């Protein structure tokens, strides 16, 4: 019975939606914050100078790094992807198949931070209350071309 409990606990700890904090520490990565989404954790790693590769990501519980990197690219986050042979922390050796290695240069980090600080703002409407509009930090709404899908 004891082995069953260990298996259940181990399975819960390694769910794909959760990042394994112990393995992060083992690799010298910062511990994810409580309720931090995988995409936000990967972005935080890149912005703080860490590189992330597919084998490392799988070891800490991020099984879809390529999808996360694709979403970050679509959001306009500047980073570099190389395909290289890397050390696999699970089998403790370098595996011959190349994987994605993502990182941000100092210039890319600066560009991202500058872009984030200079995002345009819009005015929130208080038309229902009769009060003048107020300035917010929200991004402007995209224009609709009114064409059906």
Can you list the domains of the chain with their CATH numbers? 2-117 (1.10.10)
110/107 Cα distance (integer angstroms):
5
pTM: 0.68
pLDDT in tens, the chain (149 residues): 445 445 444 444 444 458 999 999 999 999 998 888 999 999 999 999 999 999 999 999 999 999 999 999 999 999 999 999 999 999 999 999 999 999 999 999 999 999 888 866 655 555 555 556 556 555 555 555 555 54
């Amino acid at each position: 019975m004891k082995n069953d409990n260990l298996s259940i606990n181990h399975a819960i700890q390694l769910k794909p939606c959760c990042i394994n904090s112990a393995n992060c520490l083992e690799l010298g990565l910062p511990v994810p914050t409580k309720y931090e989404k995988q995409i936000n954790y990967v972005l935080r790693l890149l912005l703080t100078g860490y590189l992330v590769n597919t084998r490392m990501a799988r070891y800490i519980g991020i099984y879809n790094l390529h999808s996360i990197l694709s979403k970050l690219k679509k959001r306009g986050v500047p980073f570099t992807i190389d395909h290289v042979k890397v050390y696999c922390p699970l089998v403790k050796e370098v595996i011959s198949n190349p994987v994605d290695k993502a990182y941000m240069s100092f210039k890319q980090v600066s560009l991202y931070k500058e872009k984030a600080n200079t995002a345009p703002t819009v005015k929130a409407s208080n038309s229902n209350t009769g009060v003048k509009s107020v300035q917010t930090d929200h991004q402007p709404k995209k224009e609709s071309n009114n064409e059906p899908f």
